[in-house]
Amino acid sequence: EDQVTQSPEALRLQEGESSSLNCSYTVSGLRGLFWYRQDPGKGPEFLFTLYSAGEEKEKERLKATLTKKESFLHITAPKPEDSATYLCAVSATGNQFYFGTGTSLTVIP
Amino acid sequence: DSGVTQTPKHLITATGQRVTLRCSPRSGDLSVYWYQQSLDQGLQFLIQYYNGEERAKGNILERFSAQQFPDLHSELNLSSLELGDSALYFCASSPRDRWPAFFGQGTRLTVV
Q: For the segment A39-77, what is each residue's pLDDT rounded down to a tens digit?
A: 988 999 999 999 999 999 999 999 999 998 999 999 999
> Confidence band (pLDDT; 50, 70, 90) for A84?
very high
Q: What is the pLDDT along chain B (112 residues), one digit of tens a residue?
A: 889 999 999 999 999 999 999 999 999 999 999 999 987 778 899 999 999 999 988 889 999 999 999 999 999 999 999 999 999 999 999 988 778 889 999 999 999 9
Q: Within 10 Å of residue A93's Cβ, how many Cβ atoms? A: 11
Distances (CA, A) of A101 to A37, A80, A85, B19, B95: 12, 22, 9, 27, 26
Q: Is B83 helix (H, G, I), strand (E, B) or coil?
A: helix
Biggest distance spanned by C-alpha atoms of chain B:
38
Residue B106 to chain A, least CA–CA distance (Å): 6
In degrees and rounded to multiples of 5, residue A8 shows phi and psi of -75, 175
Q: What is the pLDDT of residues B67-88, one digit of tens each?
A: 999 999 999 999 999 999 999 9
A17 pLDDT exceeds 90?
yes
Residues 6+ apart with CB under 8 A from A26: A1, A2, A3, A69
Mean pLDDT in chain A? 93
Mean pLDDT of chain B: 94
What is the distance in angstroms between the Cα of B56 and the nearest Cα belonging to chain A?
6
Tell me if B42 and A32 make a contact (CB, 8 A cut-off).
no
**Among the partner residues A96, A97, A102, nearest to B100 by beta-carbon distance:** A97
